[in-house]
Amino acid sequence: MGLTRFLKYWLPVVLMMAFIFWMSTATFSAENTALIFEPLLRFLFRGISAQAVGLIHGVIRKGGHVAEYFVLGVLLFRAFRGGSAGRRTWQWVIFSIVVVIFYAASDEFHQSFIPTRTASPVDVAIDSVGGMLAQVAGVLAHRRGLKQDLPE
């Protein structure tokens, strides 16, 4: 693999993985993100209960998991495809899902060493859903691109 190909296809994957790793630090613990979301939610929804704030905060945090791993999944699909117009779509999907699941598990393992974070198999599943949704999007986009390339 040449440097140009690495920079184009794999550097974005590495950068996204680094971003996810950073998001898994104490800086983005639930306690710290609550300092932002709780006042914002209380400002937007006067009289909101503490239970509702906690629920919305949790949904936002889990949505962040899905979004991060969706982006990682898209980037992995793109990197495994590597600009190929071939039809090995399922191979790209399987490789991408395996990497997403492995990285999600390793990310939770990383969080187990951070006192303000918790490691959770549920989060691995949520992360994996984000990566799998990305594969659906990747397959649909790739198939649409193939159809557009066909002569009429």
3-state secondary structure 39-73: HHHHHHCCCCCHHHHHHHHHHHHHHHHHHHHHHHH
Q: What is the pLDDT of residue 5?
A: 85
Handedness of CA 54, 64, 31, 124 (dihedral sign): positive
Q: In the prediction, which pLDDT does 99 show? A: 98
Whole-model pTM: value is 0.87
Query: What is the model's pLDDT at position 97?
Result: 97
Number of domains in the chain: 1
CA distances (Å), origin 135, targets 46, 54, 64, 94, 121? 40, 31, 18, 9, 21
Nearest to 17 by CA among 70, 98, 72: 72
CA distances (Å), 74 to each of 100, 109, 115, in order?
10, 23, 31
pLDDT, position 152: 37
pLDDT for residue 89: 81
Q: What SS3 state is found at 6?
A: helix
pLDDT in tens, the chain (152 residues): 688 888 999 999 999 999 999 999 998 888 999 999 999 999 999 999 999 999 999 999 999 999 999 999 999 999 998 877 667 788 999 999 999 999 999 999 999 999 989 899 999 999 999 999 999 998 888 777 755 443 43
Which domain covers residue 61, as residue numbers?
Answer: 3-149
Q: Give me the pLDDT at residue 147, please.
A: 54
Say if CB 24 and CB 104 are below 8 A apart: no
The 10 Å Cβ neighbour count of residue 98 is 12
Say how far apart CA 84 and CA 3 lie, in whole Å: 17
